[in-house]
Amino acid sequence: MSLPRIAVDAMGGDEGVRVMVEGAALARRRHDKFQFLLVGDETRIKAALEDHPNMRGASEILHCDDVVGGDELPSRALRRAKTTSMGLAVNAVKEGRAGAAVSAGNTGALMAMSKLALRTMPGIDRPALAALLPTLEEHDVIMLDLGANTDADARNLVQFAVMGAAYSRIVNGFEKPRVRLLNIGTEEIKGTESLRDAAAQLQAATGLAMQFDGFVESDKINRGEVDVVVTDGFSGNIALKAIEGAARFVTDLLRTAFTSSLRSKIGFLVSRPATELLKHHLDPNNHNGAVFLGLNGVVVKSHGSATAKGVANAVEVAARLLEDDITNRIADDLAALGKEDGNVPEDEAAE
């Protein structure tokens, strides 16, 4: 079976065309069946392609001049969905010219364009942004929503859990991913009404392709004891950025400490392999590729500052979701959830 090709917004991100094209080429070196639709300035894309002969015959260029700004309001960007590289990449998925889109551009604009072009899939009220985070164990943990929606009611949270579990089965290969709701305590009485209702619904549903383990607090996200952390977009964004900030804070302190004396500088050189291991484990490029789940099509957001290796990871995530048909998997799980309850879960308004 030939894999449908992947549309790459070649203009998005801090690093621009060269890194996006190099990332695609890197992914293709590992998977030679990958095909690309590269969207953006033709001259610059062609120039970048000259360094990557393995992309010959594997890529088509869709030219456009317009680019979405990094700080642009999503509502403004949306008006240029038909002229910008981001909009055209997403539209290629809608029109079947590509199976998935990858962009390193403005997250809010990408979400807005993807929602408008691809629409939310049947059975899902709102899409969610899901990302991979490192843990103490071999596998990553998936957290969603990370900011696609500011709030979420119980019904949204249950749907996020189903989507996150489907994503985990595909990228981590777990048959029954361990799913938990992010809360400020693990007791049943903690948190908002929406969280307690969502927990009750997930506890009651027995035929789900996941193991629901109740609540998790945000200090346990990276321990490797949970595979999918489900939350509303506000709390998820707060938790994600707090983790990123604290990791950077500790490594900054470490750098200061290591350069504070000659002795510690020598110690640093000696322990180089150890600190390189740490750096590798924490490098966001090794966990790159946040996914918009719940749309009629696959859209992957690459970090704005990702290197070619990071972009290649994002492309591979897109390809796996496409190959494993994430949209139909989520649809099947939703159907099972409906059947279990005897009806579709009711909408529980947030308190």
Binding site residues, a second copy, CB under 8 A? 71, 73, 136, 147, 150-151, 182, 184, 187, 189, 191-192, 217-223, 233-235, 237-239, 241-254, 257-258, 260-261, 263-264, 266-275, 277-278, 281-282
- Taking the C-alpha atoms of residue 62 and residue 322, their distance in angstroms, rounded to an integer, is 21
Report the alpha-carbon distance of residue 39 to residue 320 in Å, rounded: 21
How far apart, in Å, are the Cα atoms of 129 and each of 122, 147, 154, 262?
17, 7, 17, 46
Per-residue buried b or exposed e for 249-284, using 16+ beta carbons within 10 Å of the residue's own CB: eeeeeeeeebeeeeeeeeebeeeeeeeeeeeeeeeb
The H or E element that residue 230 is part of is strand 228-230
The answer to whether 91 and 76 are in contact (CB under 8 A) is no
Contact (CB, 8 A) for 92 and 37: yes
In the bound state with a second copy, the residue whose beta carbon lies nearer, of 266 and 344, is 266
CB nearer a second copy, residue 114 or residue 218: 218
**Of 192 and 327, CB closest to a second copy:** 192
Shorter beta-carbon distance to a second copy: residue 216 or 315: 216
- HSE-up of 34 (CA within 13 Å, CB side)? 27
Q: Which is nearer to a second copy, 141 or 322 (CB)?
A: 141
Q: What angle do CA 276, 242, 176 make, to 5 degrees?
A: 80
In this complex, which beta carbon is closest to a second copy, that of residue 173 or of residue 273?
273
Q: Are 88 and 113 in contact (CB under 8 A)?
A: no
User: CB within 8 A of 55, min separation 6: which ones?
Assistant: 21, 24, 25, 28, 36, 49
| Closest separation in Å from C-beta 187 to a second copy | 8
Nearest Cα neighbor of 194 from 181, 204, 212 is 181
- For residue 192, the minimal CB distance to a second copy (Å) is 6
At its nearest, how many Å lie between a second copy and the CB of residue 197?
14
Looking at the Cβ atoms of 32 and 71, the one nearer to a second copy is: 71
Alpha-carbon distance of 38 to 31, in angstroms, equals 17
CA distance 157 to 163: 10
Distance CA 121, CA 297 (A): 9
The residue (of 98 and 142) whose beta carbon lies closer to a second copy is 142
Instruction: Give the chain's end-to-end CA distance (angstroms, integer).
Output: 49
Q: Which residues are paired to 144 by β-bridges?
A: 130, 230
Closest CB to a second copy among residues 139, 220? 220
Q: How far is the CB of 237 from a second copy (least distance, A)?
A: 4
Smallest separation, CB 233 to a second copy (Å): 7
